[in-house]
C-alpha cells in the first residue's frame, strides 16, 4: 500500500468516525448534556421563546434570528455568527467575552467536556420537526 493510499484510508476512517460521532452521541453523553442544559432553564427552552430565545432549530441558524423572539441585543444581532459546534463552544465558554454587549449575562461554562456534552445534546434536541417544534 502506498503512502498516499494509507493516508486516504486513514482520512476516510477519521471522517467516518467523526460522522458517526456527530450522528449518534452515546446515551451517557446525551444524559450529561441534558443535565447541563438544566442550568439554562431560567431563561431558555428548546420550544418557545422565553426570557431568552427558543433553541429549536439552533444549528445552522444565524445568531439573533430565532423566529418570534424580539429580545436580542444589537451586539448579537450584528455578530454575524452562525451557530454550530465551534461557534457554540466559543460562545458558551464565555458569552460576554465572545459577544460583548450580549444580554446573556452569564459567566459561561468553563469545563470543555461539559460544553461538549451540552452541544452534543443540543444537536439532538433542537432538530426542528424531528425532536422539537419551532415556534413562530
Partner 1 sequence: MTSRLLIPPTYLPHSRRRALATGGAVLSAAAVALLGGREALAAKASGGAAEADVRILNTALGAELEAVAAYQVGAESGLLGKPALAVALQFQGHHKEHASALEATVRKLGGKPVAAKAKYAFPVEKLKSETDVLRFAAGLEKGAVSAYLGAVPLFAERELAKVAASILGDEAMHWAVLRQVLGEDPVPSAFVS
Question: Among residues 85 and 108, whose Cβ is nearest to partner 1?
Answer: 108
The contact pattern for partner 1, residues 81-110, with x = CB under 8 A and - = no contact, is ---------------x----xxxxxxxx--
Question: Among residues 12 and 71, whose Cβ is nearest to partner 1?
Answer: 71
* Residue 50 interacts with partner 1 (CB under 8 A): yes or no: yes
> Which are the contacts of 130, defined by CB distance < 8 A and separation ≥ 6?
none
- Here the cell at position 2 is 502506498
* Least distance from partner 1 to the Cβ atom of residue 101, Å: 8
Can you tell me whether residue 22 is helix, strand or coil?
Answer: helix
Whole-number Å distance between alpha carbons of 33 and 115: 8
Q: Which of 40, 58, 88, 99 binds partner 1 (CB under 8 A)?
A: 40
Nearest to 28 by CA among 117, 110, 105, 91: 117
Question: Among residues 29 and 54, whose Cβ is nearest to partner 1?
Answer: 54
* Residue 48 interacts with partner 1 (CB under 8 A): yes or no: yes
4-43: burial string, b at 16+ Cβ within 10 Å, e else: eeeeeeeeeeeeeeeeeeeeebeeebbebbeebbeebeee
Q: Which of 29, 45, 115, 117 binds partner 1 (CB under 8 A)?
A: 45
Q: Which of 71, 74, 82, 113 binds partner 1 (CB under 8 A)?
A: 71
> Which residues bind to partner 1, rule: CB under 8 A?
38-43, 45, 47-51, 71, 73, 96, 101-108, 135
Amino acid at each position: 500500500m502506498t503512502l498516499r493510499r494509507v493516508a486516504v484510508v486513514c482520512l476516510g476512517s477519521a471522517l467516518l468516525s467523526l460522522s458517526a460521532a456527530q450522528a449518534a452521541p452515546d446515551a451517557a453523553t446525551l444524559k450529561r448534556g441534558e443535565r447541563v442544559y438544566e442550568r439554562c432553564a431560567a431563561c431558555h427552552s428548546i420550544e418557545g421563546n422565553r426570557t431568552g430565545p427558543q433553541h429549536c432549530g439552533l444549528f445552522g441558524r444565524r445568531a439573533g434570528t430565532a423566529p418570534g423572539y424580539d429580545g436580542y441585543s444589537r451586539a448579537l444581532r450584528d455578530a454575524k455568527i452562525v451557530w454550530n459546534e465551534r461557534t457554540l463552544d466559543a460562545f458558551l465558554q464565555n458569552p460576554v467575552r465572545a459577544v460583548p454587549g450580549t444580554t446573556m449575562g452569564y459567566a459561561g461554562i468553563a469545563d470543555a467536556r461539559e460544553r461538549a456534552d451540552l452541544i452534543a445534546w443540543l444537536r439532538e434536541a433542537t432538530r426542528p420537526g424531528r425532536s422539537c417544534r419551532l415556534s413562530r
